[in-house]
Structure 1
Amino acid sequence: MNVLAHLSAGAGQPSPPAARSGRHRVLPYLLVLPGAAWLLLFFAVPLVQLAGASLYDPTGSISTGYALSWAFGNYPAAVQAYWPQFGRSFLYAGVALALALLMGYPLAYAIACKAGRWKNLLLVCVIAPMFSSFLVRTLAWKTILSDNGALVGLLRDVHLLGPDGRLLATPIAVVLGLTYNFLPFLALPLYASLERLDRRLLEAASDLYAGPLETFRRVTLPLSRPGLIAGALLFFIPATGDYINAELLGTPNEYLIGNVIDSAFLVRLDHPQGAALSMLLMSVILAVVVVHLRRAGTENVL
């Protein structure tokens, strides 16, 4: 009975500090484990396979098989053959980003600071297009920009386009498609940043006789910088690798590096070249992101 009483009394005692400390050290790793396993299986392993495929012997084929010959020459050959598509991808993505900033910042500011009871409705309007397929949205732009569409007819009537002028199958159409499809990725982080803005700082700027433009330049814009940087990265990265907009809204003269990679894997079946182009694109984008974060500071995107 004494033993049972002793055991029952000890059962209600708290665990020793050393045991609790050990559990606390292990628990974070257990929580991270599922996500880490997911990234390892579906990101790290395919990335290693892609890097290996970029070094296959370029003389191989799907039918005869590929041999890992450490053919580093695949990289300069890919750049030499497709540097115009590389440059065009970054140019179009940069122009589209500039247009998105001109439209997305006022939109995010209006929703966060001026919308009032209409805020939720306007947010739904920004997000709602993403509920439909990316392909469907791009095909809709193909209809909007068609030669017989209302938009082209209006531009011809006001003489902004010639009688035979067109928008479809031009660089303008591709840039407009990129801007529209990826605009929410820029607007939403900007909105989140502006929503957290302390309105008392704006009032203080007004009390110090700062006008609206000065208040925006000295207060609003610097404080919204985290959302601006995050939104710009979220916009630029997928826009650079996109190929649907150039495929549907442009011609081969407007093809981006994504179109070349798609053709290498699915049409020409040249896996070493497609893998080399993919690795080059990822490397350049990663370099752009690292340089951008080093200049802006990682705390500005957190």
Structure 2
Amino acid sequence: MKTKAASLPYAVWTFIFIVVPLAMVAYFAFIDEAGHFTLENVSSVGQYTPVLARSIWLAAIATVICLVIAYPLSYLLSRMHVGRQKVFLMLVMLPMWMNFLLRTYAWMTLLERNGLINRFFALFGLGPFEMINTQGAVVLGMVYNYLPFMILPLYSIMVKIDNRTIEAAQDLGANSYHVFSKVVLPLSVPGITTGITMVFVPAVSTFIISRMLGGGGNLLIGDLIDLQFLGNAYNPNLGAAISLVLMVLILLCMSIMNQFDNDEGMEGALL
């Protein structure tokens, strides 16, 4: 009884700030300007398939890059002395203390035609290179801003892997490859799935990064939703329909990742 009473504020909070907004998005997605039921908004989302595909593609690339960078970094961090771990964790989190918009503005200054990177290359007679307003700049912005979301879950899982488990595998004749593939990797799967979800979800729906680093030629689904609510093409019903399709897509991806995580957990239990 006490548990139910304690969970009541969280249930109220969830209902007001999660269930109600989602219900409103679904409601406006299936009505027209006059308030009548229609499927036209949802059917119109199909014409923006290239934008959605571009968003998924760039978010997937950024997620893979984050995983490739974060995995060895998290493992090295988890094997450090506790004091060093705290210092390096603070360094990982330090950029997050700065405003998201300011961090992106900083990359604009670095990547623009007369930016610091092109000035550095000019010292060697190279460039200037067109780095801003490209898909590469968008991916770079995603990786920079969302990399901590991959590092933290991986670290939190890897730090729980006992060194004695690794030493036992080595004592039984396992080389470095087998220690990684048979011990470290299976035990770190929950961190991988959590990190992928935490990076892919905000990356696929971002709009500030693509607007500031990608220019008008690299429109993503987040930019499209923003334009429907705040742009000249004001159409909140279509914006709600696009948001609803994006939410369904994200939930589908999360369910696939959770299923993969469960399968790995069952396999580990059988082993």
Task: Please say whether Structure 1 and Structure 2 have the same fold, judged by a TM-score greater than 0.5.
Answer: yes
**What letter is aligned with 1:78?**
V
CA contact (8 A) 1:52 1:68 kept: no
For 1:174, the equivalent position in structure 2 comes to 138
Match 1:89 to one of 28, 32, 55:
55
For 2:101, the equivalent position in structure 1 comes to 135
Give the unaligned 5+ runs of structure 2.
266-271
Relative to structure 1, is the Cα distance of residues 89 and 209 closer, same or farther in structure 2, using a 3 angstrom cutoff? Answer: same
Per the TM alignment, residue 149 of structure 1 is displaced from its structure 2 partner at its CA by: 2.7
- Counterparts in 2 of 1:194-233, with a 5 A limit? 194-233=158-197
Kindly name which structure, 1 or 2, has the bigger radius of gyration based on alpha carbons: 1
Structure 1 position 32 matched with structure 2 position 7: yes
CA contact (8 A) 1:156 1:165 kept: no
Per the TM alignment, residue 43 of structure 1 is displaced from its structure 2 partner at its CA by: 1.1
2-side partners of 1:69 and 1:155: how far apart?
A: 59
Taking only the aligned residue pairs, the percentage that are identical comes to 35
Moved over 6 A (4+): 156-159
Q: Secondary structure at the match of 1:166?
A: coil
CA contact (8 A) 1:138 1:177 kept: yes
1-side partners of 2:121 and 2:6: how far apart?
A: 57
Match 1:273 to one of 231, 238, 244:
238
**What letter is aligned with 2:234?**
L
Structure 1 position 54 matched with structure 2 position 21: no
**What letter is aligned with 2:212?**
L
TM-score norm. by structure 1 comes to 0.83
2-side partners of 1:201 and 1:152: how far apart?
A: 48
Q: Secondary structure at the match of 1:141?
A: helix
Q: Secondary structure at the match of 2:142?
A: helix
Per the TM alignment, residue 152 of structure 1 is displaced from its structure 2 partner at its CA by: 3.2
TM-score norm. by structure 2 comes to 0.92
**What letter is aligned with 2:116?**
A
Relative to structure 1, is the Cα distance of residues 107 and 153 closer, same or farther in structure 2, using a 3 angstrom cutoff? Answer: same
**What letter is aligned with 1:266?**
L
Structure 1 position 71 matched with structure 2 position 38: yes
Relative to structure 1, is the Cα distance of residues 299 and 169 closer, same or farther in structure 2, using a 3 angstrom cutoff? Answer: same
Give aligned pairs, total: 264
Per the TM alignment, residue 298 of structure 1 is displaced from its structure 2 partner at its CA by: 8.0
Q: Deviations over 1:126-154 (max 9, x none)?
A: 11111111111111111121222332345
Q: Secondary structure at the match of 2:79?
A: helix
